[in-house]
A and B are shown apart, each in its own frame.
Chain A
Amino acid sequence: MTAELFIQYLFAGITYGSMYAIVAIGFNIIYNTTGIINFAQGEFVMLGGMISITLLRFMPLPLAIVLAVGITMAVGALIEIVFIRWLKEPSVLRMVIITIGISILIREAALHIWGESVRSLPYFVGNEITTTGILGARISPQVIWVIGVCTMMVLLLSLFFGTTSVGREMRACAANRTAAILCGINTRNMVTLSFVLSAGIGALAGCVMSPITSTQYDNGTGLAIKGFTVAILGGLGNSGGAVAAGLLLGIIEAFSVSVVPLAFQEAIAIAILLLILFVRPNGLFGSKDLAGLKEF
């Protein structure tokens, strides 16, 4: 493998990897505040892409993306308020089935609204064949957009959780819900906010990725599985771990293309997931004691 080809694969891996990392962080945000794995996480990404493509007909690209992210956030809030907010201590099995049901409904709604056709946003800069040279490899500017936006999101989120008071309240909610209530934090609103937040970052990732991966009504499931793999690999609830694990999975996948047929790619990602679940269910970076305290 030549050095150029190596860098080419590496960038492809980082692009997909940052996508997976964002989906995994979406899982983590909701998991931290509620203890729920939201199986509809991948659908937010699809919705972001689809809505922005539709809005693009009426308005310029930046506005369409902002509005699409806003609408998806509203959908996220609606889901939480309608389906989750009023349940009293639901069992894990019940929540799994409800979120799976939600993901089916969103997917079917998308199928009836947008049909089966594959759509995509135009490239933000230039077109399909525009490239910039990095270290001798030819990279599409969109790749830089994806990596840049995802990095920005991760930085802003860590700033949000670290410094703002709302972010701290959400973290308090994650650490100990009862204690948070006793401190006067409205935990229910925090849960709604966590759905809004993870819908928002999912939708934004869906928009920037759309020119490269295209958007179709059933994109969500595959993304959710890979995002979940990454979330587990990085240790459920650990967003720093999710970034590292996301990049790792993306790069493994990109290089595996040169060895195994593309049709088996998803099967390989899932086989990795199963292997991790069996061998190290607390993730590569997670501690066993911490995992023992959590309820799955």
Chain B
Amino acid sequence: MKRIIALLVACLLVIAVELLCSWTGTLYYLTQMTMSAYYSLLIIGLCVVMGYAGQISLGHAGFFAIGGYLSAALTTRNLLLFHDSLLVRGLDFAGLLVTGKDIYGGALVVVTPWAACLFAVLVAATIAFLIGIPVLKLKGHYLAMATLGFGIIIYRLALASSYFGGADGISAVRPFPLCPGLSVSGGPSTRVENYYIAWGLVLLGVILLRNLINSRIGRALRAIHGSEEAAESMGVDTARYKLYIFVLSAVLAAIAGVFLTHYNGGIGPSEASVMKSVRYVAIVAVGGMAHLWGALTMSIVLNFLSLRGVFGTYDDAIFGTILILIMLFAPEGILRINVGQKLLSLGGVFKKGGRKD
């Protein structure tokens, strides 16, 4: 019951924000809210990996970039030159290609967004699966470095290959038509629809993850977080569950990447950078590692402020500072600082002092 109420409150808040913005004539805020929503989708996935399974990942921007870049490249790179190759003819036969015109009026043959999206997410899942098997055997520093290394490799590949546009990234990515009359695209006319698409996706993600956490898998994950050895001796297949949740979070990250890329109409290598991954970890830490709603709340607040440019040139520095302060003073996250309990313990100190007298 409590869970349903929380979801209902979240839904109402989402609607309330939209109504408030249209009432005050500040609909442009919805653009940043939509982008924050897509980042939040990644962050709730990472929250389960870090908070519930207890595994750090400093490479999630990599999965986001795999999703975004592949979808962007497939829906913009012209396949006309390869129209004789078996693969392209097969795609054409399956009805997965669309033709159009490029900005110079030339013929353009690209993959349909749905197929590109599915392919991108599938690739991200496969990579997460393959890299997850060895990486998740590692612990502590080694795990942090290995995931960091994975993130840097993806960043370097995006930066060094001309297919992905090098330092410029890919621009002029077409809208992603979800169903007739509804497409993921930027621009003022579709702002409200896209706001609801993004938040619908995030709430779906929350429902999925909440159910997962409260299931057998969730209990197994928490057991792993408590003590991997103890969990294993109780018969929990720790490697399988860790891998499962890692792949799931990578899929969420890739979906976020695909949608945000189509929404923004482009993607650049900075989306794959280490700083992005660190930022996601920082937000999860601030929200309280094992606290889905907390991570979601902090993600909206911090991403929104960052995207509005409130932090200016100190953007990265702010996130670094937040990271340090949270880890030093409130490793359980700021929403977990139990004010009542702090006061009680203070009261206890005074009581003890009193007894001594």
Contact = CB atoms under 8 A, between A and B. Distances in A.
Interface in A72-95: 83, 87, 91-94
A98 B327 contact: yes
Contacts, number: 112
28 contacts: A37-B144, A37-B145, A83-B328, A87-B328, A92-B140, A94-B327, A94-B331, A97-B56, A97-B285, A97-B323, A98-B328, A100-B281, A101-B321, A101-B327, A104-B316, A104-B319, A104-B320, A105-B321, A108-B314, A109-B317, A232-B142, A266-B156, A267-B156, A270-B149, A271-B153, A273-B146, A273-B149, A277-B142
Contacts of A264: 156-157, 160
Q: Is chain B's interface secondary structure helix, strand, loop, or mixed overall?
A: helix
B307 interface: no
Contacts of A102: 320, 324
B83 interface: no
B352 interface: no
Given A93-B140, A100-B278, A267 B324 contact: no
B320 A267 contact: no
A295 interface: yes
Given A277-B138, A278-B137, 19 more contacts: A96-B140, A96-B144, A97-B323, A98-B327, A104-B275, A104-B319, A104-B320, A105-B317, A105-B321, A108-B320, A112-B317, A232-B145, A261-B160, A264-B156, A264-B157, A274-B134, A274-B146, A277-B142, A277-B146
Given A97-B281, A101-B327, A108-B316, A296 B139 contact: yes
A94 B330 CA distance: 11
B141 interface: yes
A266 B331 CA distance: 33
A273 B147 CA distance: 11
Contacts of B134: 274, 277-278
Contacts of A94: 327, 331
B170 interface: no
A96 B282 CA distance: 12
Contacts of B278: 100, 104
A221 interface: yes
Contacts of B320: 101-102, 104-105, 108
Nearest to A96: B144
B148 interface: yes
Contacts of B331: 91, 94
A225 B152 contact: yes
A263 interface: yes
Interface residues of A, number: 38
A228 interface: yes
Contact of A296 (B142, B149, B314): B142
Identify the 5 closest CB pairs spanning chains A and B, nearest first.
Answer: A104-B320, A263-B160, A101-B324, A108-B317, A101-B323
A281 interface: yes
B315 to A, nearest CB: 9
Contacts of A221: 274
Given A92-B141, A296-B142, A104 B327 contact: no
B199 interface: no
Among B150, B319, B320, residue most surrounded by chain A Cβ atoms (within 10 Å): B320
Nearest to B146: A277
A274 B230 CA distance: 28
B252 interface: no
A50 B160 CA distance: 28
A271 B150 CA distance: 8
